[in-house]
Amino acid sequence: MDWRETRSDERVTEWERADGHATVRLRRRPDGRYVVRYDRLFQAAEGPDYRRETVPDRDAALELVERWREGDGTDDGGGTG
């Protein structure tokens, strides 16, 4: 499914799935690490899902964003960090 960027600033970038039933958010923490969050609503055909992982840098965060968007949250990326 397609995704569109809905927010982008110096701390947060967020994408929304085309049907509006899921979002992925990348957020920079004050300590320089990044948090990636996947949130799929109860209304989604696949049902609800929520994942959150902290990674050491932006490159790792963007890799996780892509995996979660491409797999639509099915790849947990190794934990909820």
47 burial type by CB count under 10 A (0-12 exposed, 13-18 middle, 19+ buried): exposed
Cα dihedral across residues 49, 30, 61, 57: positive or negative? negative
Domain ranges of the chain: 3-70
Nearest to 72 by CA among 53, 48, 56: 48
Q: Name residue 55's amino acid.
A: V
CA distance 59 to 47: 29
pLDDT at 40: 96
pLDDT 10s digits, 29-80: 999 999 999 999 999 999 999 999 999 999 999 999 999 999 865 554 444 4
